[in-house]
Amino acid sequence: MRAIVRTALAPAGLGKLVRGKTELERARKHFDVDKNVDGFTFNVYSDASVKQALNDLFDGMCGYCESYYDATQTQDVEHYRPKGRIDNGVTKLKPGYWWLAAHWGNLVPSCILCNRETNQILFDGSILKTGKGDRFPILDETTRATTEGGEVTETPLLIDPCSDDPGDYLCYVVRDGKCIMVPKVDNSDDLRHSRARASIDIYGLNRAPLVRDRTRYMKRISYALRQLERQVALLDAAGPETTADIEAEIAESLEFLDAHADGKDRFSAMARWLIQPVYERLGIA
């Protein structure tokens, strides 16, 4: 998962008018004034302008697992805070965060597996129900928002790539040759550990197919880093007749590595985890 700076302007589709009212205005009457708990149809979040804006913002990748969805599957427009109902781990609460259903800051593009609940085989062969669905755990259930704006008192346990820096919570380890995502803080009493653990499990960030794909990227980047270190060592000992060729090879290696770390390719957070220590050791800015 990588940090994303959300653009300031919401897509036009979120403000679409129906009979002179926005969806938020109609939802406010349905839930707040008329005191209904369900029965409202949310739809502006799936407007084409919203999907395109999310696709552009996240470069066609899932906001949670950094896999490409745009070439293989339908994009899910995921609500960070669920709109219709909330699964708090004990019961289903209605209504959900209805006032955020058309809020630009609450929308994240997701692949199907990160968004839809299903049992998944993890990297170690165990099975876990993953996929966010209506789940939205918070630190203290007594602070759960039930009215518009009340969410500011909550402490979410799921990482939001647009308001949190996932790098503060998540890191990677290699186990049996596999690239596994783990909490950065190894202390179960620390909130950062709790948020990382909830996000890894609910988004399914260690499901077996994802780990296989992430590991393939890890191996490519690791090989390129070894090549870079070899090239730098050769340059230090090179004579004038070979310096230019080695410098060209180094430039190609840096271009390859930077392309994996700049956020335009899959697993850029993992790539930076691998690349940054080597760059620092070699004195590469």
- For the chain, what percent of residues have pLDDT higher than 70? 99
Q: Residue 177: pLDDT above 70?
A: yes
Task: Establish how many alpha carbons lie within 13 A of residue 145's alpha carbon, considering only the half-sphere containing its beta carbon.
Answer: 20
In 3D, which of 93, 201, 190 has the Cα closest to residue 139? 190
Q: Return mean pLDDT, the chain.
A: 95
Question: What's the mean pLDDT in 240-246?
Answer: 93
CA distance 122 to 256: 30
pLDDT class of 69 with cuts at 50, 70, 90: confident
Q: Is the pLDDT higher at 254 or at 74?
A: 254
CA distance 230 to 224: 10
DSSP, res 61: B
Q: What is the pLDDT of residues 182-222, one digit of tens each?
A: 999 999 999 999 999 999 999 999 999 999 999 999 999 99
Q: CA 258, 264, 268 angle in degrees (round to 5)? A: 65
Question: What's the mean pLDDT in 90-102?
Answer: 97
Question: What's the mean pLDDT in 37-47?
Answer: 96
Question: What's the mean pLDDT in 39-60?
Answer: 94
pLDDT class of 285 with cuts at 50, 70, 90: confident
CA distance 244 to 240: 8
Q: What is the pLDDT of residues 11-39, one digit of tens each?
A: 999 999 999 999 999 999 999 999 999 99
Question: What's the mean pLDDT in 112-130?
Answer: 96
pLDDT class of 73 with cuts at 50, 70, 90: low
Q: What spatial distance separates the first Cα and last Cα of the chain, rounded to whole Å?
A: 23
In 3D, which of 199, 204, 225, 214 has the Cα closest to residue 267? 214
Q: Are 91 and 20 in contact (CB under 8 A)?
A: no
According to the model, what pLDDT value does residue 13 have?
94
Answer left, alpha or beta for residue 263, where phi above 0 means left and psi between -120 and 50 means alpha. Answer: left
Q: Are 108 and 54 in contact (CB under 8 A)?
A: yes
Q: Are 29 and 175 in contact (CB under 8 A)?
A: no
According to the model, what pLDDT value does residue 209 have?
96
Q: Residue 136: pLDDT above 90?
A: yes
Q: Is the pLDDT higher at 9 or at 180?
A: 180
Other Cβ atoms less than 10 A from the Cβ of 71: the count is 6
Helix, strand counts (H, E) of the chain: 7, 10
Question: What's the mean pLDDT in 50-69?
Answer: 93
pLDDT class of 58 with cuts at 50, 70, 90: very high
Q: Are 204 and 131 in contact (CB under 8 A)?
A: yes
Per-residue HEC secondary structure of 110-139 comes to ECHHHHCCEEEEECCCCEEEECCCCECCEC
Q: Residue 147: pLDDT above 70?
A: yes
CA distance 140 to 134: 17
